[in-house]
Amino acid sequence: MTTAIFPGSFDPVTVGHMHLIERASHLVDRLIVAIGVNTQKTGYFTPEERLEILSESVADLPNVTVQIETGLTTDFAASVGATVIIRGLRNVTDFEYEQGIAGMNQYLNPKIETVFLLANPADAFVSSSLIKEVIQFGADITGVLPPAAAKAIEQRRNENAD
């Protein structure tokens, strides 16, 4: 049985993430979406809120679960019995960034392989960082978010408007 993890900040989760999760779920027996805390990114949602949003978003994928991970990705992977780390690539910039991380992960645990999946071309422009930027201006971004994330962002906007 092959177990993989798909780590990321998912803040917020996008349709690009969801397309990768769905595709990855067909490649392995068990996929764990691992919500990490990226020290280089400012959080829009708490890890617990992201867990709730992602859990709702993957509810129809029976072999996919969601967990919060802290610490090294390779340590988390080993703790859940994963032998594969799934990463998505939108462009060459992503590749250069991910190549370095994959190399370090290979050094830290040679038993864990990193597998890169190319983003759907229609999703190549979508990033959580860009979404966080444009929502500040009230833009309609529902087309690039799964329904649970769109709903959570709308609720956050309404809270901030009060």
The answer to whether the pTM exceeds 0.75 is yes
Q: What is the pLDDT of residues 51-104, one digit of tens each?
A: 999 999 999 999 999 999 999 999 999 999 999 999 999 999 999 999 999 999
What is the distance between the alpha carbons of residues 156 and 162, in angstroms, rounded to a whole number? 10
73 is in an annotated binding site: yes
98 is in an annotated binding site: yes
- Evaluate whether 128 touches 12 at the Cβ level (below 8 Å): yes
Per-residue pLDDT for 160 more than 90? no
pLDDT band at residue 138 under the 50/70/90 scheme: confident
17 is in an annotated binding site: yes
> What is the per-residue pLDDT for 41?
63
> What is the per-residue pLDDT for 136?
87
Active site residues: 17, 41, 90, 128
Query: Which of 30-39, 88-97, 151-160 reaches the highest mean pLDDT?
Result: 88-97
Per-residue pLDDT for 155 more than 80? yes
> What is the per-residue pLDDT for 39?
66
Domain spanning 3-161: CATH 3.40.50.620: yes
* C-alpha torsion sign, points 140, 45, 35, 55: negative
84 is in an annotated binding site: no
Q: Where are the domains of the chain?
A: 3-161
